[in-house]
Amino acid sequence: MSDRLDSKIFYGWRIVGVSFFAQFLAMGCSISVFGLFIPVLTGEFGASTMQANLGLSILTVFMAGSGAIIGPMLDRRSIRGLMITGSIVSGASFLLMSLATELWQLGLLFGVGIAIGAAMFGPLAANTVVAKWFSQNRGKAVGIASMGAPTGGFLLSPIVGFMLADFGWRDTLVIISMLHLVLVPFLWWIIRNQPSDLGLVPDGTQFETTETPVEGRMWSTSEVFRAPNFWFLALAFGIAGVVAGSWNANVIPYSGDIGIGLDRASFFPSALGATALLGTLIFGTLADKVNIRVLLWSSFFIQGITFVFVRLIDPNFVSLMGAVLVFGLAAGAMMPLMAAAIGRGFGPASFGRVMGFIGPVTLPFGFIGPPLVGFIRDVTGSYLLAFDLFLVIFVIASLILVGLKLPR
């Protein structure tokens, strides 16, 4: 262990690196590539568009709901142990999915098994451990770690699309399962709960503190639920999150509606991941220096304006790609800004608890979004009404943030 402590590079950046790859797999192998499997669900298993989207809703519900249990555990137990368990659970679920013969089996394994596994080693756990290792650079560190999720979308979408075409969906799921097992030794070797476990301090430097009293405080469950900031954050992120989840799941079906083949449409999730990667870093770095509420408003505005663009133009591959790139840039801000706001408002000692409790509040929004958009498509034959709904959603989320008050 001494060689780690003597390194000129703060050990916390190793935590960031492993957390990056954890989120790469947790989100890149589930939400980011989900749309690529919709043709499998509708073609081989006979699901409707709404039924196919329901799988993503179930995953969102169980991932968010389990966070209420996992979050407090991350503040009190071994984060390393929880992340390793989650990676194994997800890997086993993907392997069992490759053997499925009925639609309900896929729904159960994906919506429950992978959801719970991803909650244990994905963004909730990864950003919690990073937040505990940094103070002055928390926004930047969480931003870099959170880049793992959009990077997964950027790199894995075309790769999974290629594997689906060449190997079939069952072999593709086996390969995805094996990737989760590769992560386990890195989690064991690197992850530690907090700097004091290795005799270190946050950021690796003893700053003259400018921190607020919330930094070292452990909030009780009742205190968290009585805090206005908790509700402003949970409701704003829950409502706005409807759009990102619904768009990720339906961008490929929408592409088919306007005559873009699957071979070219598979680049859209990759493009979303690419600019979300950049947006995550930019907004995460700015979160250490700029008013977080202003940054959130900016993100909502940019996301909303992309659907105005799509609504008004005659869509084709080039114009839709432009809209996807801009949307991804702004959507990438969501996770680092949420983490920065939680860290600023509640401190690292209660980070897992607060972030975990936000999950159940977002449950109704995460559940209803993708199937509602699929239902609108099935009934009207178009996604245009859904795009109008997205604009209303961003206006409501922006108004909720008016009440958010974070310490400087």
Q: Please name which of 357, 3, 349 lies closest in space to residue 194, comparing C-alpha atoms.
A: 349
* Architecture of the domain delimited by 2-194+219-403: Up-down Bundle (1.20)
> pTM for this one?
0.74
- Average pLDDT score over residue span 316-322: 89
pLDDT per residue as tens digits for the range 39-93: 888 888 888 777 787 787 788 778 878 888 998 999 888 999 999 999 999 999 9
Contacts of 129 (CB under 8 A, 6+ apart): 15, 19, 74, 79, 191, 192, 193
Count of CB atoms situated within 10 Å of the CB of 273: 28
Count of CB atoms situated within 10 Å of the CB of 78: 14
How far is Cα 337 from Cα 339, in angstroms, rounded to an integer? 5
Does residue 130 have a pLDDT over 90?
A: yes
Q: Which residues of 205-217 are buried (b: 16+ CB within 10 A; e: fewer)?
A: eeeeeeeeebbee
Q: How confident is the model at residue 155 (pLDDT cuts 50, 70, 90)?
A: confident
- Average pLDDT score over residue span 355-382: 84
pLDDT reported for residue 1? 44
Q: Cβ distance 176 to 29 under 8 Å?
A: yes
Does residue 28 have a pLDDT over 90?
A: no
pLDDT per residue as tens digits for the range 285-318: 898 888 999 999 999 999 999 999 988 887 888 8
How much of the chain exceeds pLDDT 70, in percent?
95
How far is Cα 394 from Cα 275, in angstroms, rounded to an integer? 20
Q: How confident is the model at residue 7 (pLDDT cuts 50, 70, 90)?
A: low
How far is Cα 127 from Cα 131, in angstroms, rounded to an integer? 6
pLDDT reported for residue 388? 93
Q: Please name which of 107, 66, 146 lies closest in space to residue 352, comparing C-alpha atoms.
A: 66
Q: Where are the domains of the chain?
A: 2-194+219-403
How far is Cα 34 from Cα 36, in angstroms, rounded to an integer? 5
Contacts of 220 (CB under 8 A, 6+ apart): none
Give the rounded distance of the alpha carbon of 93 from its chain centre.
19
How far is Cα 236 from Cα 217, in angstroms, rounded to an integer? 25
How much of the chain exceeds pLDDT 90, in percent?
38
Count of CB atoms situated within 10 Å of the CB of 173: 26
Q: Cβ distance 14 to 190 under 8 Å?
A: yes
pLDDT per residue as tens digits for the range 168-213: 999 999 999 999 999 999 999 999 998 988 888 888 775 444 444 4
Burial of 166 per CB tally in 10 Å (0-12, 13-18, 19+): exposed
Contacts of 203 (CB under 8 A, 6+ apart): 10, 12, 134, 135, 136, 137
